[in-house]
Amino acid sequence: DALGHTVGDTLLKAVAGRLQSCVGETDTLARMGGDEFVILQSSATQPLEATSLATRIVEALSAPFVVQEHQMVVGASIGIALSPHDGTEPEQLLKNADIALSRAKSEGRGTCRFFEKGMDVRMQARPGWTKSACLLSGHAWPPLFRHPVGGGMQSSCPRGSVPGGHR
């Protein structure tokens, strides 16, 4: 925002490009609004593929961006929900990925978290927590990643592992 909407829009497009380079041919990348993106990933080798994708995303976004002669560092916090363990409906998976994202953000920048049962209870107990859901159609709903990106944040998710990954 400090550099204007044009720079912000250009940065978001560059972030989307790097994210697109991380996902597989059968994955779906969507911008949810603001600086949040969702990735739908289908793979028979979950949660390994989700862990691998999260690591690739953090690494890809850790390199500085240059937009209109401004160098910017972007970071990612990542929330992951897996189907069918964390839900079978799009709304539930998105909600659970959002809850995992909130946990990741609360634990520090560049953190990746899988949804865990009980996270939703802790989140609902927090003041100001509201439910958010979005219906997405036309896809199978295995792993769902949700992550915001923002200027000035450093990513630090360890190579080859996702903190909090329990599967």
| CA angle (78, 108, 21) in 5-degree steps | 30
Could you read off the pLDDT tens digit of each residue along the chain, which spans 167 residues? 678 888 889 999 999 999 999 998 888 999 888 888 999 887 767 888 898 999 999 899 989 999 998 898 888 889 999 988 898 898 899 999 999 998 888 887 778 899 998 886 655 555 544 433 332 222 333 445 555 555 433 333 333 333 333 33
pTM: 0.71
120 is catalytic: no
Catalytic option among 1, 35, 86, 120: 35
